[in-house]
Amino acid sequence: MSGQTRNEQYEQRIGVLTSGGDAPGMNAALRAVVRTAIDKGVAVYAIYEGYKGMVEGGNRIRRMKWEDVGGIMHRGGTIIGTARCAEFRERSGRLTAARNLLEHGIDRLVVIGGDGSLTGANAFREEWSGLVQELAERGEVPPTLAQQHPHLYIIGLVGSIDNDMYGTDMTIGADTALHRITDAIDAISSTASSHQRSFVVEVMGRNCGYLALMSAIATEANWVFLPESPPNTDDWESLMCRELKAGRESGRRESIVIVAEGARDRQGNPIKSDYVKQVLEERLGEDTRVTILGHVQRGGSPSAFDRNMSTLSGYAAVEELLKATPETEAKLVGIVGNRIVSSPLMYCVQQTHAVAEAIARRDYERAMDLRGSSFKEAFATLQTLVRGAPHPPQAGQRRMRIAVLNAGGVAPGMNTAARAATRYALDQGHYVLGVQNGFIGLIENDMREMEWMSVEDWTSVGGAELGTTRKIPTGAELYAIARNIEELQIDALLVIGGSEGYQAVLRLTQERHTFPAFNIPMVCLPATINNDLPGSELSVGADTALNGIVEVVDKIKQSAVASRRCFVVEVMGRYCGYLALMSGMATGAERVYMHEEGITLADLQNDLEHLIRGFRQGKRLGLLIRNEKSHPVYTTAFMSELFATEGKGYFEVRHAILGHLQQGGNPTPFDRIQATRMATHCMQYLIQEDPKPTPGSGFLGRTGASRVYPIEEWPRMVDFAHDRPRSQWWLEICAPIAKALAKPDPDTPMGTVHGFA
């Protein structure tokens, strides 16, 4: 290997570019592509300024080193720039681009961009052999070089805040954009409510109403206009005014209307924010303001989800590229059901265009079909939740009395779930009892009947309005609960919370033979920041806690610029390492300690040596994230002192125990959306089980599949000693990748540690 880095021995060379509209998370994808390639011994080049840089060549195409992508994950936008490029739309531009790539021996590309960029990439790939031949004939590239690169291999990652791409549940940047929109609308709501004003808020999305729909669910907006599903009447003005008026009459202090920028009516005419304002002012006499959120939606630090999804996708993109053969078609790497998957790129692009075409043809049913069932379901749910009042019950229908309570530690999103559950049930003609303080309220008969407006404004509020406790009823308490269920004629139970709730529901179910009152449908909605419940992949609250941790760790890292410092950050999770690993991946921590992997003295010694070597050679910052229960003896204090003592002279150590800030805060958009969906599914389950002689009792699994597992299965799925699922889906997927990307540069002399973030 003398004088040569590992990379130079290899033939494969990868180019990576960001193109089209920028999106938060592109940097994390870039970092993952660069580091995975280097880790696999492949040379990687960044193509600056998108296709423009590819056409311009020269120093727009630069070999990347491990540390070139350090410390970029928390930054919005893309550090390698992006652009629109008219020349690349022409064959002549693509010919020049091909020459520039060949100059560096690059014939594998990761293109991070929207459907335009990916369409362009595919056109380029299809033409490649012709372009190469022409360049060789013209003498612009040596014939041997042309022969070495007969094919172009393409992997696309979708960078687009609109979430407008078929083939992936989420595009890079969409979750962050939702954060920006939700924060803005939360702020607007508080001022609107103070003045009893109306606001029309315009959000991005030309052909895709994802941001509009999801932000409406996440902010309790009162009306929404989407491109794919216009109001089903030509006189939508009257319909909207009637609903908003009903809302005001039932006590709402403000009206918020969200308009997607591509919104239209059934005839295909655009619905503009200013016109909506005019309608509200003229017909309802409401003081109305318009806010166009614009580019704020694109900006800012990426959310934890965007960083992690981009990291996993970038890693997968390189793996796919390296195993591609001349027969492999261009692929899109995205996320489906929390798993990274690859699909044929052009099929995804065509399906995406099909939505735009359906909208242009005014075939809105087809447009909604193409968006998929969960989009449709979310829209249906929203239409229920935004109502000013519930539908009146149907004549002669059975009206259930459904009790709703929280259990376990507080999780942001509990209120969101309680609100959605309450409104869904009321709209179906049922009664809802809000139980205070979890099972204590059920024992002590501390509950109240919930009305439509009792849960107004609950969506965005952290904490638990109904209160929550870790109480699991036993002995005489079970008797008290049975008596209350009978006296109050409770027909069903929704328990929102963590494992205490699951244990309580299991106990009640097992006691059905002693207490016939327990023979009612019961369901647990997974809500805990720890994400340690079996069946569900992401419990309500985990995303908020994760983002809270990431935000604080970003700040902690910034605080260390001037000194050589190593931080040991302790995060919650009980015995589940989810928060530790995911926050470690999102912040580029070089080491994550989890109970699942254990810690040995040898590990600590190794880590210490690694730190000392790193700081000796110029490293300025160390970041170790430790799950609170990762080891009973090697505690955060112990580790900090050990590292401080042994590392004296090389670096200082500080530790931070993040504590309860992780349970606080308002829920993130994802937690609000997830809580709303799950609550609806839980209510549907309770209603469906009600007529059965032995109604089901269970816990909600993954939404989408909307599976309710019988509660008896819970003990089999849990590792009781550690109160976490026996199998944890994220562990195998994420741990090796997080480790691979945060380790020292494999190409530098033994042990040199660069900025690792």
Beta strands in 182-222 (DSSP E): 198-203
- Cα 502 from Cα 522, distance rounded (Å): 10
Q: Work out which of 32, 37, 39, 51 binds ligand ADP, going by CB under 6 A.
A: 51
Number of residues located near ligand ADP, criterion CB under 6 A: 17
Q: Which residues contact 753 (CB under 8 A, 6 or more apart)?
A: 590, 610, 613, 614, 617, 619, 744, 745
Count Cβ neighbours within 10 Å for each residue of 136-160 and write b for 16 or more, e otherwise. Answer: beeeebeeeebeebebbbbbbbbbb
Contacts (CB under 6 A) with ligand ADP, residues 433-492: none
Q: Which stretch binds ligand ADP (CB under 6 A): 4-12, 14-22, 171-179, 504-512?
A: 14-22
Q: Which stretch binds ligand ADP (CB under 6 A): 18-26, 182-190, 507-515, 526-534?
A: 18-26
- Cα 221 from Cα 520, distance rounded (Å): 34
- Cα 114 from Cα 160, distance rounded (Å): 5
Q: Work out which of 41, 105, 116, 299 binds ligand ADP, going by CB under 6 A.
A: 116
User: Given its phi and psi angles, is residue 733 left (phi above 0), alpha (psi -120 to 50 degrees) or beta?
Assistant: alpha
Beta strands in 38-138 (DSSP E): 43-47, 61-63, 108-113
Q: Residue 88 CB, nearest distance to ligand ADP (Å)?
A: 4
Residue 49 or 532: the one with the smaller Cβ distance to ligand ADP is 49
Cα-based distances in Å from 276 to 192, 225, 259, 331, 487: 16, 10, 9, 42, 50
Cα-based distances in Å from 506 to 37, 230, 515, 534, 693: 49, 45, 13, 14, 18
- Cα 473 from Cα 440, distance rounded (Å): 8
Q: Residue 263 CB, nearest distance to ligand ADP (Å)?
A: 20
Q: Residue 245 CB, nearest distance to ligand ADP (Å)?
A: 40
- Give me the 292-311 binding string for ligand ADP, x by CB under 6 A, dash otherwise: --------------------
Give 88's DSSP letter: G
Residue 114 or 497: the one with the smaller Cβ distance to ligand ADP is 114
Q: Residue 169 CB, nearest distance to ligand ADP (Å)?
A: 19
Does the protein bind ligand ADP through residue 755 (CB under 6 A)?
A: no
Q: What are phi and psi of 567, to 5 degrees?
A: -105, 135
Does the protein bind ligand ADP through residue 85 (CB under 6 A)?
A: yes
Residue 88 or 699: the one with the smaller Cβ distance to ligand ADP is 88
- Cα 622 from Cα 612, distance rounded (Å): 10
Does the protein bind ligand ADP through residue 20 (CB under 6 A)?
A: yes
Q: Which stretch binds ligand ADP (CB under 6 A): 119-127, 216-224, 532-540, 577-585?
A: 119-127
Q: How far is CA 274 from the centre of its chain?
A: 32
User: Given its phi and psi angles, is residue 751 left (phi above 0), alpha (psi -120 to 50 degrees) or beta?
Assistant: left
- The CB-nearest residue to ligand ADP is 116
Residue 160 or 288: the one with the smaller Cβ distance to ligand ADP is 160
Contacts (CB under 6 A) with ligand ADP, residues 145-184: 160
Does the protein bind ligand ADP through residue 230 (CB under 6 A)?
A: no
Q: Work out which of 19, 415, 503, 536 binds ligand ADP, going by CB under 6 A.
A: 19
From 532, 280, 298, 242, select the one nearest 409 (Cα to Cα): 532
Residue 132 or 280: the one with the smaller Cβ distance to ligand ADP is 132
Q: Residue 360 CB, nearest distance to ligand ADP (Å)?
A: 17
From the number of C-beta atoms within 10 Å of its C-beta (0-12, 13-18, 19+), residue 572 rates as buried
Catalytic site residue from 162, 169, 532, 607: 162
Q: Residue 331 CB, nearest distance to ligand ADP (Å)?
A: 17
Q: Residue 84 CB, nearest distance to ligand ADP (Å)?
A: 3
Q: Which residue's structure tokens are 């050589």?
A: 564
- For residue 8, give the amino acid letter: E
Does the protein bind ligand ADP through residue 123 (CB under 6 A)?
A: yes
Contacts (CB under 6 A) with ligand ADP, residues 86-115: 88-89, 113-115
Residue 20 or 521: the one with the smaller Cβ distance to ligand ADP is 20
- Cα 326 from Cα 694, distance rounded (Å): 59
Q: Which stretch binds ligand ADP (CB under 6 A): 84-92, 311-319, 497-505, 514-522?
A: 84-92
Q: Residue 162 CB, nearest distance to ligand ADP (Å)?
A: 9
Q: Residue 261 CB, nearest distance to ligand ADP (Å)?
A: 15
Residue 117 or 503: the one with the smaller Cβ distance to ligand ADP is 117
Q: Residue 14 CB, nearest distance to ligand ADP (Å)?
A: 19
Residue 346 or 450: the one with the smaller Cβ distance to ligand ADP is 346
Contacts (CB under 6 A) with ligand ADP, residues 537-566: none
- Straight-line distance from the first to the last Cα atom of the chain, in angstroms, rounded to the nearest whole number: 28
Extract the tokens encoding 258. Answer: 């969200």
Residue 85 or 464: the one with the smaller Cβ distance to ligand ADP is 85
Extract the tokens encoding 505. Answer: 């529901």
- Cα 12 from Cα 321, distance rounded (Å): 10
Q: What are phi and psi of 541, to 5 degrees?
A: 110, -30
Is 175 designated active site?
no
Residue 159 or 498: the one with the smaller Cβ distance to ligand ADP is 159
Number of H helices, E strands in the chain: 24, 24
Does the protein bind ligand ADP through residue 241 (CB under 6 A)?
A: no
Torsion of CA 492, 498, 500, 501, to 10 degrees: 0
- Cα 114 from Cα 316, distance rounded (Å): 18
Q: Residue 372 CB, nearest distance to ligand ADP (Å)?
A: 20
Residue 114 or 701: the one with the smaller Cβ distance to ligand ADP is 114
Q: What are phi and psi of 401, to 5 degrees?
A: -115, 110
Q: Which stretch binds ligand ADP (CB under 6 A): 5-13, 15-23, 173-181, 512-520?
A: 15-23
Q: Residue 371 CB, nearest distance to ligand ADP (Å)?
A: 18
Contacts (CB under 6 A) with ligand ADP, residues 248-267: none
Q: Which residues pair with 434 in a beta bridge?
A: 404, 448
Q: Which residues contact 406 (CB under 8 A, 6 or more apart)?
A: 414, 418, 438, 464, 466, 467, 468, 495, 496, 497, 501, 527
Extract the tokens encoding 520. Answer: 């009612």
Does the protein bind ligand ADP through residue 117 (CB under 6 A)?
A: yes
Q: Work out which of 15, 24, 76, 120 binds ligand ADP, going by CB under 6 A.
A: 120
Residue 86 or 637: the one with the smaller Cβ distance to ligand ADP is 86
Catalytic residues: 162
Interacting residues toward ligand ADP by CB under 6 A = 19-21, 51, 84-85, 88-89, 113-117, 119-120, 123, 160
